[in-house]
Amino acid sequence: MAQNQHEGERIAKVIARAGLCSRREAEAWIAAGRVSVNGEKIATPALNVTRADRIAVDGKPLPGAERTRLFLYHKPRGLVTTSSDPQGRPTIFGALPKDLPRLISIGRLDLSTEGLLLLTNDGGLARALELPSTAWLRRYRVRAHGTVTQEQLDALGDGVTVDGISYGPIEATLDREQASNVWITFAIREGKNREVRNVLRHLGLHVARLIRVSFGPFQLGEIAVGEVEEIATRVLRDQLGEKLARAAGADFSAPIVQRKQEPSAQTRHPDERGTKAAEDRRPGASAPLPPRAKRDSGEGSGTGGKPKRERLSPEKKKFHRPRRGENARPSFDERDDRRRRSQRRRPHT
């Protein structure tokens, strides 16, 4: 195996670019002996590879490069941002549509936090956007129990240290006070673990609801809870900028690989949406029958379908006598008999 020390790219970066995992996870896979190059297992990520090298993970060839893609996901509360949870809690990846590519989360939202979560198929992009040097602003809407003043929130602009952990400058605005609750807009750039909750606890507030509404230039907007929206390639390229796209090693010219399952309109790539809808709207195209119309027209019932039950008019219903049976209405004679038996059992006063 040729040791390419100055050509190509680092092996962990190439694996991450293939969308199998993040670069850090790829390094752990290499240390565990799961990665081979040109038929030989490697034990260190300090190796550069080129397109001529044959890379395999767990004996399977590395997938070909796919176009760098980014998805906006409205994460509900109660889901863990991980691929598998030791405690058996539901994860975001178990809730995503099955026709999406293998995705990596850019940062995390904890179990009880909801709102915007960025997902990508490119491990290099995930790493680039998570770096502190990227410093994209994350904006949250917070409902908290307790009271606070705008002066206290303004003091967070210089940063704060809580339990020995230093947090950078924070933009916080008191939006509304309602009984014992307050609504605050909270904006941070570092995104340390439980930063919002820890800082507000430091101010004597208990967070009741935490919603991330934006991450850098991308907004939650009107995306419904649990829904996914993909960013068009052109928009993604423009928002990242040349410098950040180059640092991430993003590839906007590679093909889009669709999964076997036919994607829905919500998960189809934005550059490909509207084709089938346009065909359905072409002049002269017949509109599909709704389920009720299909039943009434007999479509799909075949020759052996059940005959329709005759619908009686209100006039016929008035004089229609039900068939005698278990649940039939008792006749007048039966009702007279029941009335007489009831009177005989009634005690005299």
Q: Does a structural domain hold residue 116? A: yes
Q: Does a structural domain hold residue 244? A: no
Residue among 110, 122, 158, 163 flagged as catalytic: 110
Q: Does a structural domain hold residue 163? A: yes
Q: Does a structural domain hold residue 277? A: no
- Evaluated on CA atoms 134, 140, 146, 147, the torsion sign reads positive
Position 272 scores a pLDDT of: 59
Kindly report the CATH number assigned to the domain that includes residue 24: 3.10.290.10
Task: Indicate whether 299 pLDDT > 90.
Answer: no
> What is the CB-side half-sphere exposure of residue 54 using CA atoms within 13 A?
8
57 and 100 both lie in a single domain: no
Q: What is the mean pLDDT of residues 42-50?
A: 92
Per-residue confidence at 292, pLDDT binned at 50, 70, 90?
Answer: very low
Task: Indicate whether 86 pLDDT > 60.
Answer: yes
Q: Tell me: the pLDDT tens digits for 91-108?
A: 999 999 988 988 999 999
80 and 197 both lie in a single domain: yes
Last residue of a domain, one of 203, 230, 257: 230
Q: Does a structural domain hold residue 146? A: yes
Give the total number of structural domains in the chain: 2
41 and 179 both lie in a single domain: no
**CB count in 10 Å sphere of residue 201:** 16
201 and 133 both lie in a single domain: yes
Position 123 scores a pLDDT of: 85
Q: Does a structural domain hold residue 274? A: no
* Residues near 29 by beta carbon (within 8 Å), at least 6 away in sequence: 15, 21, 35, 57
Residues 65 and 14: their CA atoms lie apart, in Å, by: 9
Q: Tell me: the pLDDT tens digits for 9-31?
A: 889 888 877 777 778 889 999 99
Position 231 scores a pLDDT of: 97
Q: Tell me: the pLDDT tens digits for 321-343?
A: 444 444 555 555 566 666 667 66
Kindly report the CATH number assigned to the domain that includes residue 108: 3.30.2350.10
Q: Does a structural domain hold residue 98? A: yes
Top pLDDT among 195 and 304 is at: 195
Task: Indicate whether 347 pLDDT > 90.
Answer: no
Is the model's pTM score more than 0.75? no
124 and 189 both lie in a single domain: yes
Active site residue 110: yes
Per-residue confidence at 65, pLDDT binned at 50, 70, 90?
Answer: confident
Q: Does a structural domain hold residue 294? A: no
Boundaries of domain holding 37: 9-61
Q: How far is CA 222 from CA 72, 74, 96, 225, in A?
A: 11, 9, 18, 9
Q: How far apart are the first and last CA of the chain?
A: 111
Residues 145 and 205: their CA atoms lie apart, in Å, by: 6
